[in-house]
Amino acid sequence: MIKLATLPRVRRPSFRSADASCTFVAALALASAAHAFQAPTAGDLGYDIYDIVVNQGVKGPLGFVGGVAAFLFGVSRLFSNIMIGIPTIVAAVCLIRADSILQTFGMIV
Which pLDDT tens digit goes with each residue over 48-57?
888 888 888 8
Structure confidence by residue, pLDDT tens digits, 90-102: 999 988 888 777 6
Sign of CA dihedral 46, 90, 61, 109: negative
Determine contact, residues 87/79, Cβ cutoff 8 Å: no
CB contact at 8 A, 26 and 20: no
Q: Are 93 and 67 in contact (CB under 8 A)?
A: yes
Q: What is the pLDDT of residue 105?
A: 66
C-alpha Rg value of the chain to the nearest Å = 25
Global model pTM greater than 0.85 = no
For residue 75, give Cα distances in angstroms to 50, 60, 79: 31, 23, 7
Q: Residue ranges of the chain with pLDDT lower than 50?
A: 108-109
Residues 6+ apart with CB under 8 A from 75: 85, 89
- Rounded Cα distance between 54 and 47, Å, is 10
The pLDDT value recorded for residue 88 is 93
Query: What local confidence, expressed as pLDDT, does residue 109 receive?
Result: 41
* Cα 54 off chain centre by: 18
